[in-house]
Amino acid sequence: TSAGTVRHEGRDGVVAAEAPVIARPKGAAAMRVVVVDDDGEVRRTLRGLLERAGHLVFEADNGRHGMELALEVQPQMMLVDANMPEMGGLDLTRALRQTRIGRTIYILLLTSLEDEERLIEAFENGVDDFVAKPIRPRVLAARLRAGHRVIRLQQEVEREREEIRRFAAELAVTNRRLQEVALTDQLTGFPNRRYAIERIEQEWASATRSRRPLSCMVIDIDEFKQINDTYGHDVGDTVLRQASIAIKNGLRSQDVVARTGGDEFLVLCPDTELGAALRCAERLRQSVHAAKVLAGGVKLRVSVSVGVAQRDKSMNDADAMVKRADQGAYVAKAQGRNKVSSVQLSAVADPPGVVKKSQIQPMGGAQVDVPPTAKVKQSPQ
């Protein structure tokens, strides 16, 4: 053999009769390459050629070992002998193409096949290209460069896909944040009225399907307008923030609270009957009243009036339940504030044509009208 020429003759008569000029394309990164051939001399020859080009080479002496190695090292390219006694090149290719990793590997078949039908079969089974035996380094180098171009294009496509996936993930996070902002009261951090409207409809529908109880509370901060008028809106904002913390502390984990107006909050109590909701409302009232609010150098004792209602057969929709709870809050205010009240329709209706108003005499002599055939229930204090 002349200088600069590699020559090997194995069982397939593999001959490399030209100078090994394999080189990576300019600027191309090194590849992980798996060589699968049961002829050790062929493997060593190919390893030498590929390593001189800067590639990282792994060897397997049969198809099964080649499969295991491919799944382990995840090569960009494989050089696979077509004829091996244990799992030939086509069987290995078919098996690889059925795996997530193997679908993207560039597979170069080393073959002495000249039959056109057999070569077509090889391509149909997932082979990307082939090198005829005896292998000539210059031809192999050209095939490797072509394969490298394909791999680089695949990598560029994958990078673009990853960018799209990352952008989609960031967009989803941004959308969620925007949705949270749209549904969140910025002063208290509670969900806002828009969220409350959506959520109460969901809870109402769920209670209808499951036939389980549902209650709600309407909470008003007592004399909030007077606080704003006397101390200013900055103090009023501080009162709202600290009252919201006390409200949250007085609730159970399953309760849902939202700020629905300037000084008004709505609490949804899923799977809760009226008695339990009244007890929860009383704990909440006590939690707020016990909190001493310090705002602008002023110490304030804040209280709330709470109306409680439970879903019942007389109500056509969720709005009716909220209105009933709002009536309870109105009654609590009329009775001197810092109270919990529940207004319930009487089970016994008045005779037709008779209009009745239940009247409650609160502190200060004012009179409060409650809907006809109504009862007022208060939590014990």
Q: How confident is the model over 256-299, as pLDDT tens digits?
A: 999 999 999 999 999 999 999 999 999 999 999 998 888 777 88
Average predicted confidence (pLDDT) for the chain? 83
Nearest of 122, 86, 87, 85 to residue 107 by alpha carbon: 122
User: At 201, which helix (H) or strand (E)?
Assistant: helix 193-210
Nearest of 191, 365, 379 to residue 285 by alpha carbon: 379
pLDDT > 90: percent of the chain: 56
Average of per-residue pLDDT across 206-229: 95
Contacts of residue 53, defined as CB under 8 A and 6 or more positions apart, other chains included, come to 22, 23, 24, 144
Q: Which CATH number fits domain 193-378: 3.30.70.270, 3.40.718.10, 3.50.50.60, 3.40.50.720?
A: 3.30.70.270
Quote the pLDDT of residue 284: 94
Quote the pLDDT of residue 351: 36
| Confidence category of residue 30, pLDDT binned at 50, 70, 90 | confident
Average of per-residue pLDDT across 24-48: 84
| Confidence category of residue 118, pLDDT binned at 50, 70, 90 | confident
Q: What CATH number was assigned to the domain covering residues 32-159?
A: 3.40.50.2300
Residue 113 has pLDDT above 80, yes or no: no
Residue 5 has pLDDT above 70, yes or no: no
| Separation of alpha carbons 89 and 42, rounded Å | 15
| Confidence category of residue 379, pLDDT binned at 50, 70, 90 | low
Residue 3 has pLDDT above 80, yes or no: no
Quote the pLDDT of residue 28: 64
Quote the pLDDT of residue 91: 92
Other CB atoms within a 10 A radius of the CB of residue 30 amount to 13
Residue pLDDT, tens place only, 189-201: 999 999 999 999 9
| Confidence category of residue 369, pLDDT binned at 50, 70, 90 | very low
| Separation of alpha carbons 32 and 74, rounded Å | 8
Contacts of residue 153, defined as CB under 8 A and 6 or more positions apart, other chains included, come to none
**Domain ranges for the chain:** 32-159, 193-378
Task: Name the pTM for this structure.
Answer: 0.55
Quote the pLDDT of residue 320: 95
Cβ atoms of residues 306 and 253 within 8 Å:
no
What is the three-class DSSP state of 136?
coil
Cβ atoms of residues 221 and 246 within 8 Å:
no
Nearest 5°: the CA angle 5, 9, 12 is 130
Quote the pLDDT of residue 177: 84
Least confident of 52-66, 119-133, 286-300, 352-366: 352-366
Structure tokens at 362: 């609160």
Which is more confident, 326 or 373? 326
